Chain A
Amino acid sequence: MNNVLKRTDVLQAADDLRRRTLASIARPLDRLIYLASTRDYNTGFYYHDGLASRFAQEVVCEALADCHREAFQELVGASLENLVAQMEAYIASTQTSPHDFVVAWKKLEPYRVAVPVDSDTLTSDFLFSNFRIALAILQARLNTPRTAAPASSPHRLLAQ
């Protein structure tokens, strides 16, 4: 019974999070990165001050973990074309130079620490692999001379 009540709390907290904070973050990639950033790398626990004022810390932690898993699954299910588009939009939102971004992401592979802790190896490896391909596509676009290419082509110009 206690578990059911706790679960209801978690659902409420997750719903609150989706309606308030995550509603303004449209792309699953941005949501994944944002939710990973609410996790303490030393303990694996998630923290969110706004939610913590209305729910118990363990409920907040579980709700954030649920939403993190959801964003992860959404990103895994996204096509390569969609992932490349999300990365392009993400680069634009960070206002970093696309070249610097691609070089840093290829070297540091920050996406490796952005996955939920209980995600299975195959699914995580699949997403990492897609990130590597997407970065290669973005790099190829950066190296391509500025000529017109079809909108759906991986060689379409970056930040056109």
Chain B
Amino acid sequence: MIQLVLYLVLGAAFLASLYAFARRSASAEGGAQIILRARQALSALQADLLPPQVFERIFANGDYRYIISAGDPALTAMFLSERRKIALSWVEQIRRQIVSLREFHLGSARLHSQLSPRVEARLAFEFFTLLCVCRFLQLALYLRGPYAAPRMVGRVVAVASRVCATSEEAMGFLSAVKVDRLAGKSAHKMTAL
């Protein structure tokens, strides 16, 4: 009986090790996807979401003053509702891209980058702060409209820009050619599937 239990335990351990091995190979393939997603997230943040002309335009006070001058409550309500949708979409896109970058730092960055533990700790804190501020900003925009928290908007932009700069440094090991190759591989894999 004791021998049977022993064999069962050994068998279970063997199966568990096989499962762990299979998962490790899968995550190595997934690692390339994470790097690729992080690269795309970084360029989306830097080119489309964080430039001053983008957020300054979305939260422009001049447009609000112009609408207010009409003294038409229906027009004002429509304007605020439209701007709120855009503002919420802006924050949500930033949050999603930041989550992609965080995945990269939690996984692949440790293997390739030369970041010191101190920088990594600071980065982890900034990710946490940024995701919290994004959630608070979304709540504020949802409840009180697009002009509710201009300082929080500024904070999101400032922290996100810092995170981008550190991530860019961490991704320095990836040349554009490598990224293209990764993109090509994943596209090939998708076609094969």
A interface residues (Cβ-Cβ under 8 A, vs B): 76-77, 79-81, 120, 122-123, 125-126, 129, 132-133, 136-137, 140, 150, 152-155
Contact = CB atoms under 8 A, between A and B. Distances in A.
Given A76-B57, A140-B75, A122 B70 contact: no
A126 B67 CA distance: 16
A122 B57 CA distance: 12
Interface residues of B, number: 27
A140 B72 CA distance: 9
A133 B57 contact: no
Contact of A133 (B48, B58, B71, B82): B82
A136 B72 CA distance: 11
Given A76-B57, A123-B54, A129 B83 contact: yes
B16 interface: no
Contact of A122 (B49, B60, B63): B49
18 contacts: A81-B62, A120-B44, A122-B54, A122-B89, A123-B54, A126-B57, A129-B86, A132-B82, A136-B78, A137-B70, A140-B72, A150-B69, A152-B66, A153-B69, A154-B67, A154-B70, A155-B70, A155-B72
Contacts of B110: none
Interface of B: 44, 48-49, 53-54, 57-58, 60, 62-63, 66-67, 69-72, 74-75, 78-79, 82-83, 85-86, 89-90, 93
Given A120-B48, A122-B49, A136-B75, A129 B60 contact: no
Given A133-B79, A154-B67, 4 more contacts: A126-B57, A137-B67, A140-B72, A153-B69
**For the complex of A and B, 10 pairs with smallest distance between CB atoms:** A154-B70, A80-B63, A129-B82, A120-B48, A81-B66, A155-B70, A153-B69, A126-B86, A133-B79, A79-B62
Given A122-B49, A136-B75, A77 B89 contact: no
Contacts of A132: 78, 82
Contacts of B71: 155
B10 to A, nearest CB: 54
The SS class assigned to the A binding surface is helix
B74 to A, nearest CB: 8
Contacts of B69: 150, 152-154
A153 B70 contact: yes
Contacts of A133: 67, 75, 78-79, 82
Contacts of B66: 79-81, 152, 154
A102 to B, nearest CB: 14
A150 B68 CA distance: 13
Contacts of B53: 77
A80 B83 CA distance: 12
B58 A126 contact: yes
B162 to A, nearest CB: 21
A79 B61 CA distance: 10
B70 A129 contact: no
